[in-house]
């Protein structure tokens, strides 16, 4: 390669280039592994799980909050019923007396 | 070559679902492939789409014997996808430089805006805009991949003599344009 060619090559290679977007790597992995299903199986399964979690994070968060709320309501109902039982029991004992 | 065996092993591991290997391959092949597509198409976002499509094609093939560098296959796919994209575009952009786009551009840029847009590009990219797509592809393959004439011919779909002439003309045109624009 002569000097002119080397200079031209350096000018092209060491010139300012636009950067790849931050999402590029993730999008490409998604395309290869999930959308196109090109790879038979993701060994550890982490990619599908993380991708699913990241895509539906708000829905999953909503489900979690609803679950906590439902659990809390159920627990409260249980406590109320227990108190009522105690109350009924004490009333019946009182009436026996 | 040992490098190709390592690449073949990484490719095979990625095909079997190893995300780490896939990530490494993407990280190592993407920058040059993106630069190549950007030189040919002139738009970074379009270049990203092409590189993604090229990765899909690479993995769709599901086989790599390690006889040549994986990047050689990747760059050939990227070049063909870029040229196909330009060939199928409404204005047949394959045979023209980007300055031709301005004739068909819908946005009415003022001369100052137009100048600013051009100045935001690098000097080399600005000068390359005046070459046709095949010349840009030949130059980019030669510069980024140290591609020889046979590789360039294969990637662009020309015979060896035509590829030799194309690269020679592309170098001359780029030098002339850079000199004309005062970039040398």
Domain ranges in chain A? Answer: 23-55, 66-97
Nearest-angstrom CA–CA distance, A81 and A83: 5
For B27, the token pair is 């990280």
Report CB contact under 8 Å: B15, A39. yes
Query: Which helix (H) or strand (E) covers residue B138, if one does?
Result: helix B133-145
Q: What percent of chain B has pLDDT over 90?
A: 34
For chain B, the domain total comes to 1
Report CB contact under 8 Å: A20, B30. yes
Nearest-angstrom CA–CA distance, A43 and A49: 12
- Residue in B2, B56, B47 with CA at minimum distance from that of residue B25: B56
Per-residue model confidence as pLDDT tens digits over B42-92 = 888 899 999 999 998 888 887 787 778 888 889 999 999 999 998 887 565
* CATH number of the domain within which B55 lies: 1.20.140.160
Report CB contact under 8 Å: A12, B56. no
Prediction pTM value: 0.69
User: Domain span at residue B90?
Assistant: 2-180
Check if A95 contacts B (Cβ < 8 Å): no
Q: How confident is the model at residue A58 (pLDDT cuts 50, 70, 90)?
A: confident
Per-residue model confidence as pLDDT tens digits over B145-179 = 888 899 999 999 899 999 999 999 999 999 998 88
| Residues of chain A contacting residue B61, judged by C-beta atoms under 8 Å apart | none
Residues 6+ apart with CB under 8 A from B2: none
Distance from the B39 Cα atom to the nearest Cα atom in chain A, whole angstroms: 9
- Residue in B134, B131, B138 with CA at minimum distance from that of residue B99: B131
């Amino acid at each position: 390669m002569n000097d002119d060619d080397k200079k031209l090559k350096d000018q092209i290679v060491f010139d300012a280039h636009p950067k790849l977007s931050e999402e590029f790597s993730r999008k490409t992995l998604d395309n290869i592994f999930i959308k196109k299903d090109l790879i038979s199986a993701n060994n550890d399964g982490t990619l599908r799980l993380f991708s699913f979690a990241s895509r539906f994070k708000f829905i999953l968060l909503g489900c979690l909050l609803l679950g906590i709320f439902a659990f809390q309501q159920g627990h409260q109902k249980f406590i109320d019923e227990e108190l009522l039982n105690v109350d009924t029991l004490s009333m019946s004992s009182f009436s026996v007396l | 070559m040992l490098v190709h065996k390592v690449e073949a092993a990484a490719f095979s591991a990625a095909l079997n679902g190893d995300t780490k290997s896939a990530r490494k391959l993407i990280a190592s092949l993407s920058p040059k492939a993106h630069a190549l597509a950007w030189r040919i198409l002139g738009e970074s976002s379009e270049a990203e789409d092409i590189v993604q499509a090229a990765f899909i094609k690479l993995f769709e093939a599901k086989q790599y014997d390690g006889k040549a560098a994986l990047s050689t296959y990747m760059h050939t796919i990227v070049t063909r996808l870029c040229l196909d994209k330009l060939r199928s575009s409404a204005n047949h952009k394959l045979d023209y430089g980007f300055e031709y786009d301005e004739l068909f551009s819908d946005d009415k840029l003022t001369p100052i805006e137009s100048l600013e847009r051009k100045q935001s590009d690098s000097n080399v990219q600005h000068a390359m805009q005046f070459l046709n797509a095949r010349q840009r592809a030949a130059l980019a393959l030669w510069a980024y991949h140290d591609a020889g004439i046979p590789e360039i011919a294969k990637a662009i779909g020309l015979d060896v003599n035509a590829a030799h002439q194309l690269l020679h003309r592309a170098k001359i045109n780029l030098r002339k344009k850079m000199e004309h624009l005062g970039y040398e």
